[in-house]
Structure 1
Amino acid sequence: MTDLPNYYHAVGRNNNTTAGDHSTTNNIKKNNQPQQSTLILSNNETNQDDHNPPASTYMEIAGIHGKPYREWAGDHKKEEQKASDFDYEDRKDTLPVPSRFGGYCNHGSVTFPTWHRPYVMLVEQAIGEAASRLAADIERANPQEVGLWVPEAQRLRFPYWDWAALKVRDEGLPPVLIDDEVEILVAGDQTEVIRNPLSYYTYQGGVPPDFQDELSPRTGMAYFSSWTRSFRHSTEDPVGSTNKEALQQAVRGTVDFVRSQLGLLFNMGDDEDPAHAFDRFSNSVIQSNDVFEDEEPITPLEVIHGRIHGAVGGNGHMSSPDYAAFDPFFFLHHSNVDRIFALWEWCYPDYWMGDGYRDPNPDVDRSFVWTQERGTYMQVYNEQILPTGARGALYPFRLENGEYWNSEQARFLGTSAYPKYYSYDEFLGIKVDREASAEERRAARRRIYDFYGFNPSTAAAKTNRASWSHIPVRSSKEAGLPELFKEINNFRIFVVAVQLPEHAFNRTYSFELQYNQGTESRCIGAVTVFARPDHSPCKACAKRRSFGSITHGAIPLPFSLVNDLIVKSRAERTTATFETTATDIIKTLSAALVDASGKLLASARGGDEAPTVPRERVASSTVIPAKVALYTSGVAEKIGDANHPVHLFDWKRHNDLFPSGWRAEDDEAI
């Protein structure tokens, strides 16, 4: 008898040929419809470990992302493949720690968005299968409701929560994502209050034995070995709790930051190197920056996603990559990350990782391959990444034929793409599974960055033009832009570029940029590093740690703030130059490094006039940012076409923000 493989194919909701739309969680506010009820009930169903098949339990699916570092139950092998399998009874696998099985990590890699796509499809599939079973059971027990539950269950797609929607600034998370109980519709047009599976997850059978507390050198931070359920913004308490007020404050307070960063992400031009553009968009490390030096600053999707992890998690599960997926919000978050990916790849269909990237210097004939030790036991040290073939495998997710997904198959949601059986609801007139012309895609980009409040044309029209008259912009003709583009005279955007050591503090932390003027002090932007601790068994993270990987981000300065500072700079000086204006802006800025629990680790004050940090409080070079510098860019518009995206050009780097150094506010930073 042959040994048949025990696969759980991650193929999404392929129960019919119709691609259902993911919709926002705003559509499940009242939970009074059969589809909404089956979403809640099926989530609760997958939380049970006696669920069949085992691979579709929430514990198994969440465990793919990090702890407990064991092979996913849905990816068992044929007999001839089992030689490489992890075995808890084999000491070569378990000793020393980290073990031979190093997880499935695809962070800091061009595969970040493509790997997480079948991951979201997997949870949608498991919940969809449970929903169909539950709906069928309800109709069998209630013949008068036949046709009411099963069709809605078939149409069910896992929702997303749009953390960049403007109303989040006022409303924060909706009750259905934070209340521990929820009222749903049940058979017979009755309602019932049940446990809310979108708020928290309780470990079935107790906390896994290899869960470890994540500690700072002196105090406990997160008691993952004791907490029997997931928490957000918990106190440092072995019992654990969710501080809803702190959670909502953090979520509301991060909206403007990520909106401006998303706006800049959709401001990429049409003439970039395709592989480099996808690298800049997709992941925190931006490997191709090694040869594309001093590129215009941008915040990759992975880094924006890390900010949401930190804001929702606080001192809790979402802030730690090893435990994040055990918070049910993880998949609502990643469904929205996938939605942003779908929008971006629809807008920029020609930008793709390809087989690698080339040196941009036309006089140098060099090409480079994507590499990463991606963390699985099946991959060799520093293996090449390709979009297809064996080196493109997105472990552990398999297709119907038993082969692994690859990045090329994970691309796009249109009808000509590899079937995924879902799309997203319409956004600003954009439907990501529909074909469009190049001009339609360009017009959509402009609507997107305008929606996120990052439209340089609109900002330029609101500036005090007389005060900006000394701000130089290179002519579009001199810069070699297309003939129909014309620069906006005496106007530039201001962006702070940030590069942070990924493993500086042995956990997730943030760089927060602050504006200070008189008695006013407020945070105007942030870049979050979503990092595992040193003791994590993740081999991909260990590899990045060994070569000192850097997380890239950018903080666009608010247009209105820059205008006010330029007006003030002109008023206070008899003569103002571009350089003196940049200096005046820098000296109003300061920064802080804080961990996910809010602990202040280090700080810095901007400008040459800031006091020098005392020698005994100077922060270690291993934890401070690798770069914090001010950049500005000119803006060109297409003549006679208000729907065409602007072109950012004539980028200039100005001074570093913190020449007086970083002060260690906690001994951990020394």
Structure 2
Amino acid sequence: MDFQPITGINTKAPDGRTPVRKDIDIWFQEQVQGNSIQLTLFVEALAAIQSHPLENQLSYFRLAGIHSAPWTSWDNVKAPDGPDVVPKDKIPGYCVHNDFTFPTWHRVYMLLFEQTLYDEMLVFIRKNIPEALQDTWTQEAGQWRLPYWDFARFGDYIPDFPQATEGILRLPIMAMLPDVNILVVNSDRQDMELAPRQNPLYKYKAQTEMGKLDDPYKIKGENGHDKGSGLDYTYPWDKCVSTTKYGIRQGDPETAWTNAEQNWRFSNQALNEHEWNKEVIYKPLPTLQEMTYRLLTYDYDCWGAFATTQYMERHGQKPINWLSLEFIHNNIHNWVGGSQFTPPQKETDLWGAGHMSSVAMAAFDPIFFIYHCNIDRLTAIWQTLHKDKWFDDPDSQAVQANDLAPFHKDSADKFYTSDHVQYWRKLGYDYDIVQGDKPDEDRADPDIRTKIRSLYGVRTHEVYDNLPDWQRKDYIITVLYDRYALNGEAYAINIFLGHMVDDQFHGQNSVNFVARVYTFSSSLDQGSEGSCGNCKTQQRKGVLSMAQVPATLAMRRFEYDDTEDVPMYFVAVDRCNNRVDVAVTLEIWQAEEPFFLLPGRGGGEGDEYQHIKGGEKAPDSVGHSGPA
């Protein structure tokens, strides 16, 4: 039996270096102002795989289904064995969330998607482009690589596109455009001209309602249970033809779910949680940007601390180790898609659910792939700055040789492992922030750190540099939680500094709100539907998760108080935005200097951050209409 070999794109730039994956906003602007060839190829290739029959394992639907639903085999690969509770007639899934191979598994996944689009580009050129132009178009295809969405970079103004708001965190412009202008063959079939085309990155549209697809590709609704009210509900993914952002709302007619809205303005608003420092003298500093800057500035103990939310006592001793790539990733899934299906009691501006917030359905939204391309980019940056920390701790080494199923290196039955993907240039792509002047050469570390600061640290430095010395202490909050506390159903932990107000516990507009931790998990009780075997195994073993959020600017409100007297609370809320009782350990830590000035940038002997106090569950009056 032959398997699908994943090799990447084996072309080089004219100077011999590996072509780079570009920031999609910058790339889009280059294409609109340039010849638009790569833009045309990208749109045509993505549209083509979205229209392929489901029996084709390189169709968009089947590629998206690798991530989770509809729990079918891909490339004739049985998923890793799960516990006995996984139905024996179902694939228990290839999930690697809350795991040390989270970055490496998704690296191969993006490589497969990139390769599939490139191959489709060549087919399009051969079938549709006038022969006299085919060489030029083939060369352009060879220089293309999957673009990434730099979610922590403030957006640029792009002329003629009012959606391109400047100076805030936002979705890429292409993800907000229902149509784009691309090149089409003119009437005499000798040349090309621009014409509007439906944008396949805006949403994915299936052949029919996904619940009406033939087995084994039929999508089921995702069951949920509101513990507080006793309400059972179902996310109606089965009623959807198209993917959506914040477009699924309980109470709307089913016809509204079929082709629900792309409420990208809600996504943009959520991405800017929490816009700290709104005083006139400063520009806002979103938590997401500061966390990304910290992620690339901290000197972590090991690979495991950087890579995953999975708690291990060994690297949980230092508070900086609690901020991981995967935690940042989890929150963004929620911010982009929206997870609240039922009507909220307050803060209705972000009401609505979308595919990106669901583990089962996230990969069906096309933004998933350019989003995860940036997750891979952040991994490559961190690797370049920490070359000696590749699976260097005992916990991650225990899974280092695991097969990254269902991905094959060749047509024989040989899987990728994490070591196969350590060096991304060997996979046929690079990123400009880490690429040196010569082939296979890294950019110098100081240059990379300067670029990191210019992308993510300017506003952080503006804020901290203007504080008097006695206000420049750094505060972080660590969070220990059980991802499976609600039997896997996703929930959020809202964190507050200061006294709680009874009806203020929902999110960023609530009094004294600091930040939110989203579990990005899904119910492990889906009836006859498949579930994640890895997740069920972790649940059985009692595996916990951890996160870290910045709290320096939140603490400025209490600059004249003794920090030990400042109350710290959490409220856990389910996807109905109702309070749920789960066990959470909250701790606040203090360093004497801003994190970017600390010796070893917080990764020295472990004594830069001193424990201040623990937090506690909010009083029962907060968010409870009756007994808990």
TM-score normalised to structure 2 length:
0.77
Residues 1:601 and 2:578 are matched in the alignment: yes
Tell me the SS of whatever aligns to 1:452. Answer: helix
- When residues 529 and 446 of structure 1 are mapped into structure 2, their CA distance, relative to the original with a 3 A threshold, is farther
State the distance in 2 between where 1:526 and 1:281 align. 19
State the distance in 2 between where 1:397 and 1:409 align. 11
Q: Say whether the 8 Å CA contact 2:273–2:515 is kept in structure 1.
A: no
The Cα of 1:163 is off from its aligned counterpart by 0.7
Correspondence for 1:227 among 208, 230, 240: 240
Q: Which is greater in Rg?
A: 1
Q: Say whether the 8 Å CA contact 2:125–2:138 is kept in structure 1.
A: yes
Correspondence for 1:405 among 399, 411, 416: 416
State the distance in 1 between where 2:448 and 2:498 align. 36
Tell me the SS of whatever aligns to 1:398. Answer: coil
State the distance in 2 between where 1:600 and 1:543 align. 28
Q: Which moved more, 1:340-349 or 1:642-651?
A: 642-651
Cross-structure match for 2:223: 214
Cross-structure match for 2:533: 539
Amino acid at match of 1:413: W
Residues 1:500 and 2:481 are matched in the alignment: yes
Correspondence for 1:102 among 73, 92, 101: 92
Q: Say whether the 8 Å CA contact 2:58–2:116 is kept in structure 1.
A: yes
Cross-structure match for 1:245: 265
Tell me the SS of whatever aligns to 1:129. Answer: helix
- When residues 661 and 520 of structure 1 are mapped into structure 2, their CA distance, relative to the original with a 3 A threshold, is closer
Residues 1:554 and 2:542 are matched in the alignment: no
Correspondence for 2:307 among 246, 262, 282: 282
The Cα of 1:85 is off from its aligned counterpart by 8.7
State the distance in 1 between where 2:439 and 2:545 align. 32
Q: Deviations over 1:173-200 (max 9, x none)?
A: 2442033332222233322222211011
Cross-structure match for 2:296: 266
Q: Say whether the 8 Å CA contact 1:69–1:101 is kept in structure 2.
A: yes
The Cα of 1:246 is off from its aligned counterpart by 2.2
Cross-structure match for 1:12: 8
Correspondence for 1:122 among 112, 115, 135: 112
Unaligned residue ranges in structure 1 (runs of 5+): 77-83, 87-91, 358-368, 372-383, 469-490, 570-579, 603-618
Cross-structure match for 2:330: 306
The Cα of 1:454 is off from its aligned counterpart by 8.3
State the distance in 2 between where 1:60 and 1:668 align. 46
Amino acid at match of 1:655: K
Q: Say whether the 8 Å CA contact 2:149–2:374 is kept in structure 1.
A: yes
Cross-structure match for 2:615: 657
Tell me the SS of whatever aligns to 1:346. Answer: helix
State the distance in 2 between where 1:178 and 1:290 align. 43
Cross-structure match for 1:331: 369
Q: Deviations over 1:161-180 (max 9, x none)?
A: 11101237636224420333
Q: Say whether the 8 Å CA contact 1:263–1:454 is kept in structure 2.
A: no
- When residues 453 and 231 of structure 1 are mapped into structure 2, their CA distance, relative to the original with a 3 A threshold, is same
Amino acid at match of 1:111: T
Correspondence for 2:180 among 176, 179, 182: 182
Residues 1:396 and 2:398 are matched in the alignment: no
Cross-structure match for 1:452: 456
Matches within 5 A, 1:459-478: 461-465=465-469, 467=470
The Cα of 1:261 is off from its aligned counterpart by 1.5
State the distance in 2 between where 1:643 and 1:654 align. 20
Q: Say whether the 8 Å CA contact 1:232–1:313 is kept in structure 2.
A: yes
Tell me the SS of whatever aligns to 1:148. Answer: helix
Amino acid at match of 1:444: I
Amino acid at match of 1:426: I
Residues 1:633 and 2:626 are matched in the alignment: no
The Cα of 1:528 is off from its aligned counterpart by 1.7
State the distance in 2 between where 1:401 and 1:284 align. 34
Cross-structure match for 1:611: none
- When residues 493 and 443 of structure 1 are mapped into structure 2, their CA distance, relative to the original with a 3 A threshold, is farther
State the distance in 1 between where 2:127 and 2:224 align. 47
- When residues 261 and 131 of structure 1 are mapped into structure 2, their CA distance, relative to the original with a 3 A threshold, is same
State the distance in 1 between where 2:103 and 2:292 align. 15
Q: Deviations over 1:564-620 (max 9, x none)?
A: 532x33xxxxxxxxxx2342xx33x55443445xx4333xxxxxxxxxxxxxxxx53
The Cα of 1:58 is off from its aligned counterpart by 0.7
State the distance in 2 between where 1:118 and 1:413 align. 10
Tell me the SS of whatever aligns to 1:510. Answer: strand
Amino acid at match of 2:270: A
Cross-structure match for 2:558: 565
State the distance in 1 between where 2:627 and 2:615 align. 19
Q: Deviations over 1:428-482 (max 9, x none)?
A: x878985459xx42563465257423899876653323x55xxxxxxxxxxxxxx
Tell me the SS of whatever aligns to 1:352. Answer: coil
Matches within 5 A, 1:84-99: 97=87, 99=89
The Cα of 1:14 is off from its aligned counterpart by 2.4
State the distance in 2 between where 1:643 and 1:658 align. 31
Q: Deviations over 1:98-140 (max 9, x none)?
A: 646311111111100011101000000111100111122233x
Q: Deviations over 1:355-402 (max 9, x none)?
A: x52xxxxxxxxxxx559xxxxxxxxxxxx52x34xxx21111111363
Correspondence for 1:63 among 49, 62, 65: 65
Tell me the SS of whatever aligns to 1:161. Answer: coil
Tell me the SS of whatever aligns to 1:281. Answer: helix
Correspondence for 1:420 among 427, 430, 436: 427
Which is richer in strand?
1
Q: Say whether the 8 Å CA contact 1:47–1:59 is kept in structure 2.
A: yes
State the distance in 2 between where 1:282 and 1:557 align. 22
State the distance in 2 between where 1:643 and 1:431 align. 30
Tell me the SS of whatever aligns to 1:632. Answer: strand
Q: Say whether the 8 Å CA contact 1:317–1:323 is kept in structure 2.
A: yes
The Cα of 1:304 is off from its aligned counterpart by 0.5
State the distance in 2 between where 1:660 and 1:514 align. 9
State the distance in 2 between where 1:629 and 1:492 align. 16
Q: Say whether the 8 Å CA contact 1:297–1:497 is kept in structure 2.
A: no
- When residues 96 and 170 of structure 1 are mapped into structure 2, their CA distance, relative to the original with a 3 A threshold, is closer
Q: Which structure is richer in relative contact order (CA contacts within 8 A, separation 6 or more)?
A: 2
Q: Which moved more, 1:306-315 or 1:198-207?
A: 198-207
Amino acid at match of 1:404: F
Give the % identical residues.
Answer: 20
Tell me the SS of whatever aligns to 1:192. Answer: strand
Tell me the SS of whatever aligns to 2:511. Answer: strand
Q: Say whether the 8 Å CA contact 2:319–2:478 is kept in structure 1.
A: no
Tell me the SS of whatever aligns to 1:600. Answer: coil
Matches within 5 A, 1:361-376: 369-370=395-396
Tell me the SS of whatever aligns to 1:353. Answer: coil
Cross-structure match for 1:380: none
Tell me the SS of whatever aligns to 1:404. Answer: coil
Tell me the SS of whatever aligns to 2:416. Answer: strand
Q: Deviations over 1:254-307 (max 9, x none)?
A: 6822222222222333xx65xxx21110011133x2575354453210111111
Correspondence for 1:527 among 517, 529, 536: 517
Tell me the SS of whatever aligns to 1:114. Answer: helix
- When residues 46 and 18 of structure 1 are mapped into structure 2, their CA distance, relative to the original with a 3 A threshold, is farther
Residues 1:152 and 2:140 are matched in the alignment: yes
